[in-house]
């Protein structure tokens, strides 16, 4: 048993004892659970497994510290009403907001951050990393790091645009259907059911094969696919509002449909709709990445994370992890958005932490 193993277990056991002495129940359970898991993994995998656990725990601690600092920063610069809400945000939500902020900065300032152009050939195919290329080159000799930075603008920007269009179409239709009711509501509802009955990937592949793969077509097709989900949620939320007494009073005053939607129904349906926007963005983002991986999404030479995974997939056969970097970028943003959405759903549900 080497010095690393002895120091590793001594540190964990000492931290567990300190947590128990100061009656920090959650901290004690976390550290002692890590101690037990490390003991089992040490028996199975030896020292390499313990080193992996150490690195993973260090990364989690770094993420937690960064999330805490970013939450405090947001509290300090926010107005009082927003700061009050941010103080209740868990570290997972703060981590999600930090990742979203980082992606936004990368997308907006991509030409400044990226050391090379997204289509600039600067080396031979699959060149290894060096002082000019942090992650090496792709199959054409383009800088992978620069293309990942530009991919944040292209992939996330296109998904955000498609989500906004889908949300606009679905929310307006849902609010209007809930307000008008009758045959108009039935027609929109059955149309949404028909679109949702077709698998989204198959529907997208069919439409893109017919109308082409330019960016406008991609945005419209994806918006049509996911607007029925927004329609059904908006219809359900607004349906609970239109039966309220103040809606009937507004109708008796002679208020029109759009006045009821803008001034009465929409303000009382905002919280679940904002959370749904985050969920829809995740679905749209993953669909566009999948289409790009299949060759029907964003077309070359435009940098896109889905197509970057496909183009460099042959490196995996040689033990290179470079193709997994754009895949990890997709997964990280999806998880981050879900963290924020979970917190927003918890807030809108009216539940309180015990």
Residue that terminates a domain, selected from 66, 95, 118: 66
Q: Does 189 lie in the same domain as 311?
A: yes
Q: How far is CA 185 from CA 233, 261, 328, in A?
A: 14, 15, 42
Indicate which CATH number applies to the domain containing 342. Answer: 1.10.3720.10
Q: Is the peptide bond before 301 cis (omega within 30 degrees of 0)?
A: yes
Range of the domain at 61: 3-66
Q: How much is the pLDDT for 101?
A: 93
Q: Are residues 164 and 290 in the same domain?
A: yes
Query: What percent of the chain lies above the pLDDT cut of 70?
Result: 97
pLDDT for the residue 165:
93
Domain count across the chain = 2
Q: Are residues 51 and 159 in the same domain?
A: no
DSSP assignment, residue 115?
S
Q: Are 272 and 235 in contact (CB under 8 A)?
A: no
- pLDDT, tens digit, 9 for 90 and up, residues 184-235: 888 888 888 888 888 888 888 888 888 888 888 999 999 999 999 889 888 8
Give yes or no: residues 224 and 340 share one domain: yes
Give residue 96's Cα distance to chain centre: 8
pLDDT of residue 162: 92
**pLDDT in single tens digits along all 354 residues of the chain:** 567 777 777 888 888 888 888 888 877 888 888 888 887 877 777 778 777 877 887 888 888 889 999 999 999 988 888 888 888 888 899 999 999 999 999 888 988 888 888 888 888 887 888 888 888 888 888 888 888 899 888 888 899 999 999 999 998 888 888 888 788 888 888 888 888 888 888 888 888 888 888 888 999 999 999 999 889 888 888 887 777 777 778 777 777 777 777 777 877 777 788 888 888 898 999 998 888 888 888 887 888 888 888 887 777 777 677 778 888 889 999 999 999 988 887 776 654 444
Residue 96's φ and ψ, nearest 5 degrees, are -60, -40
**Predicted local confidence at residue 350, as pLDDT:** 54
- Short-list 158, 149, 155, 152, CA closest to 120: 149
233 with 273: CB under 8 angstroms? yes
> If you compute the radius of gyration of the chain from its CA atoms, what whole number of angstroms results?
25
Residue 336's pLDDT is what? 92
Domain boundary among 17, 50, 66: 66
Give the pLDDT of residue 349.
Answer: 64
pTM of the predicted model as reported, rounded to 2 decimal places: 0.82
């Amino acid at each position: 048993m080497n010095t690393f193993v002895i120091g590793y277990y001594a540190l964990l056991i000492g931290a567990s004892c300190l947590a128990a002495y100061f009656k920090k129940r959650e901290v004690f359970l976390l550290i002692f659970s890590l101690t037990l898991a490390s003991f089992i993994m040490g028996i199975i995998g030896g020292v390499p497994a313990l080193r992996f656990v150490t690195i993973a725990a260090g990364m989690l601690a770094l993420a937690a510290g960064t999330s805490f600092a970013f939450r405090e920063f947001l509290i300090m610069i926010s107005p009082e009403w927003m700061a009050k809400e941010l103080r209740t945000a868990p570290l997972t939500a703060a981590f999600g907001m930090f990742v979203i902020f980082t992606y936004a900065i990368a997308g907006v300032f991509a030409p400044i951050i990226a050391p090379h152009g997204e289509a600039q050939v600067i080396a031979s195919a699959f060149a290894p990393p060096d002082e000019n290329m942090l992650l090496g080159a792709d199959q054409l000799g383009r800088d992978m790091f620069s293309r990942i930075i530009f991919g944040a603008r292209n992939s996330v920007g296109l998904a955000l645009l498609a989500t906004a269009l889908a949300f606009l179409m679905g929310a307006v239709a849902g609010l209007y259907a809930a307000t008008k009711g009758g045959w108009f509501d039935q027609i929109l509802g059955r149309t949404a059911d028909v679109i949702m009955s077709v698998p989204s990937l198959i529907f997208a592949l069919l439409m893109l094969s017919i109308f082409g793969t330019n960016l406008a077509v991609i945005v419209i097709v994806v918006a049509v696919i996911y607007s029925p989900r927004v329609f059904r949620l908006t219809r359900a939320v607004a349906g609970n509002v239109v039966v309220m007494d103040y809606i009937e009073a507004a109708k008796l005053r002679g208020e029109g449909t759009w006045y009821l939607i803008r001034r009465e129904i929409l303000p009382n349906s905002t919280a679940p709709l904002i959370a749904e926007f985050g969920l829809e963005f995740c679905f749209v983002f993953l669909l566009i990445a999948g289409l790009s991986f299949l060759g029907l999404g964003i077309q070359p030479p435009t940098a896109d994370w889905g197509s970057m995974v496909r183009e460099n997939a042959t490196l995996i056969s040689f033990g290179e992890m470079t193709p997994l970097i754009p895949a990890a970028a997709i997964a990280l943003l999806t998880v981050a958005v879900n963290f924020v959405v979970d917190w927003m759903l918890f807030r809108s549900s009216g539940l309180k932490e015990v």
